[in-house]
Amino acid sequence: MKQYLTFFLLAATVLLLSACMSKSWTPTAETTPVIKKLLPDKAKELFGNNSSYVLIDVREPYEYAEGHIPNAVNIPLSGIVKGVNDLGLDKESSAIVVYCRSGRRSAEAATALSNAGYKNLYDLGGIIDWPYEIEK
């Protein structure tokens, strides 16, 4: 009798777990990432078209001073959300491009901005992959 009860409980658990996992998941606007990866050649094209965008270097000020992409604004990762909020950008329509040295901090910055409600985000990755001019 004890074996039947154990078997029944095990079977019921398996059925419940499989029923919970069988529901298909469909991405929605709320679950689809709003961060787009931007390659250097496409970024150069975007910048050259004089499009409306804000380019943000999320490195520390001393790194920014060593060289940055022209027209970039320096807002370190530690204060990215407050810094972007202070710029007064529209969360829905303002195109925001972030970059750092290698791509790790820019990904964190883009995620933080996405979590803060910004919708039009581009992650350029790292300046080490930027083959074009920089300014000091």
Which domains are assigned to the chain? 35-129 (3.40.250.10)
Q: With a cut of 80, say whether residue 23 has pLDDT above it.
A: no
- pLDDT (tens digit, 9 = 90+) per residue, 57-107? 999 999 999 999 999 999 999 999 999 999 999 999 999 999 999 999 999
pLDDT confidence of residue 13? 61
Q: With a cut of 80, say whether residue 22 has pLDDT above it.
A: no
Q: With a cut of 70, say whether residue 47 has pLDDT above it.
A: yes
CA angle 7, 8, 12 (to 5 degrees): 115
Task: Give the pLDDT mean for 41-66.
Answer: 91
Task: Give the pLDDT mean for 32-54.
Answer: 86
Active-site residue flag, 100: yes
Please, which pLDDT band fits residue 25 given cuts at 50, 70 and 90?
Answer: very low
Which residue of the set 56, 77, 100, 110 is catalytic? 100
The DSSP secondary structure of the chain, one letter per residue, reads -HHHHHHHHHHHHHHHHHHHH-S-----TTTS--EEE--HHHHHHHHHTT-S-EEEE-S-HHHHHH-B-TT-EE--GGGHHHHHHHTT--TTT--EEEEESSSHHHHHHHHHHHHTT--SEEEEEEGGG--S--B-
pLDDT confidence of residue 80? 97
The whole model's pTM is what? 0.76
Name the least confident of 16-30, 33-47, 53-67.
16-30
